A and B are shown apart, each in its own frame.
Chain A
């Protein structure tokens, strides 16, 4: 039962992702990507990781994609069909890097194929996730939050308006 649901969701995620990059219209592309992210979130839930599922929806589907949509609606692109296709020098490195990661994933899966199936996932109380995150990986969490702070300060600097009176 769960396996069937997993395969359905996984195919929805992959098809959604493919449609998101082939669709010429940006708003449609965003909706396909949201669908894809949503099914990934449900897969997380199936894997007994409700916290990851909730954050996937809150952050990716609910915040980042909404901001994308906001920008696209503000720009109001008139002829989305005329988008230029990127030069091979631009997509080749991306293809190479993603090829490496897919190949390593395939290698890991094939290497573990003979062994016993991975232990059934167990639901972890949120408290334990928090303890693990802030006690064992505290430094990493702080570094990531610093990085976010840099981005915030950078955005503030870029968005800062010249002082009034200079132009008006």
Chain B
């Protein structure tokens, strides 16, 4: 395989742009969440730093970087330091298989607007999201604090349970698209997005990804009313920041995946494909914030019951029904 210098340069530029875009978006999502929550709760939110408070993420960054990086005395030092990275890296890596636009042609070179077009893209996402559990679990365990340990164990149990229903809700998508590749899945939705064929799978997937990114009403690993801050109780400074930003990167990535699997990816009329992808992804981000401002937290046993006794059987039934429907249609 020979790659010309232009190809390599284009790839590097794409990589850099995606990285920059995701990190900036994540930082501004934190800001957006604070403003939207404030709006829901009829208060103002951060509005002092820069016009409309738009420089608030920068101020937060400076604050986090200059804070003391504290490691508890009896903590497992290495794992304590590594855990935030273990949580954030899989989240960023998942984005590499999401197609975020129509392939471009620049100076005679075809540039597909995704980092890696794997033919097992969907499985790559499931694999990385199952790896992301370690950050939460190890972070909670290595802190050597009761609150953190409880948060870590809850996180483990929750993520294992909801991974199952998430994976099963994606099986009908694969059955319809007849491929694991995310590019093929988007192409299969060129005319009709899968949400119209598979509303049930979409709802199960949406609930599962909310649990996967540990958002209210599923934020049991960090329930501040009972566990202080759960698995990241003992973290401070930029290590806490990494956990925090990782969560928002996760929101963007999972929103992008929901867009890809059910809303037709970058397909859309009039506007440019990249803009359509951005709009759809941000709608999901707004939905997550909106839910946080609206719903109360589930109890731990309710969460487990919902996952194992309702979502998983429903997803299985949905697979069966889709199979019958496909056979009947052909």
Contact = CB atoms under 8 A, between A and B. Distances in A.
B contact patch SS: helix
Contact of B126 (A51, A58, A123): A58
A62 interface: yes
A46 interface: no
B3 to A, nearest CB: 13
A50 B123 CA distance: 9
B149 A55 contact: no
Contacts of B28: none
B123 A31 contact: no
Contacts of B160: 63, 66-67, 70
Given A61-B131, A62-B131, A73-B137, A54 B156 contact: no
A133 to B, nearest CB: 15
A31 B130 contact: no
A66 B149 contact: no
Contacts, number: 74
Interface string B164-195: 00000000000000111000000000000000
A57 B180 contact: no
A66 B133 contact: yes
Contacts of B137: 66, 69-70, 73
Interface string A36-72: 0000010000000011011101100111001101100
Interface in B47-100: 76, 79
A73 B141 contact: yes
Contacts of B138: 27, 31
B156 A57 contact: no
B119 A66 contact: no
A108 interface: no
A54 B126 contact: yes
A62 B133 contact: yes
B207 interface: no
Nearest to B132: A62
A61 B130 contact: yes
A126 interface: yes
Contacts of A74: 153
Interface residues of A, number: 26
Nearest to B150: A73
Contact of A54 (B124, B149, B153): B124
A10 to B, nearest CB: 20
Interface in A119-163: 123, 125-127
Contact of B127 (A31, A58, A66): A58
**Among B118, B123, B160, B179, residue most surrounded by chain A Cβ atoms (within 10 Å):** B123
A127 B160 CA distance: 28
A70 B156 contact: yes
B131 A50 contact: no
Contacts of B76: 27
B120 interface: yes
**Among A53, A73, A125, residue most surrounded by chain B Cβ atoms (within 10 Å):** A73
B308 to A, nearest CB: 12
B296 to A, nearest CB: 27
A73 B156 contact: yes
17 contacts: A28-B79, A31-B79, A31-B134, A61-B130, A61-B131, A62-B126, A63-B160, A66-B156, A70-B137, A70-B156, A70-B160, A73-B149, A73-B156, A125-B119, A126-B179, A126-B180, A127-B178
Given A54-B127, A76-B149, 17 more contacts: A28-B79, A50-B119, A50-B120, A53-B120, A54-B126, A58-B126, A62-B126, A62-B133, A62-B163, A63-B163, A66-B137, A67-B160, A69-B134, A69-B137, A70-B156, A70-B157, A73-B141
9 residue pairs, one from A and one from B, having the closest CB atoms: A62-B130, A54-B123, A57-B127, A50-B120, A58-B127, A54-B120, A70-B156, A54-B127, A73-B153
Interface of B: 76, 79, 118-120, 123-124, 126-128, 130-131, 133-134, 137-138, 141, 149, 152-153, 156-157, 159-160, 163, 178-180
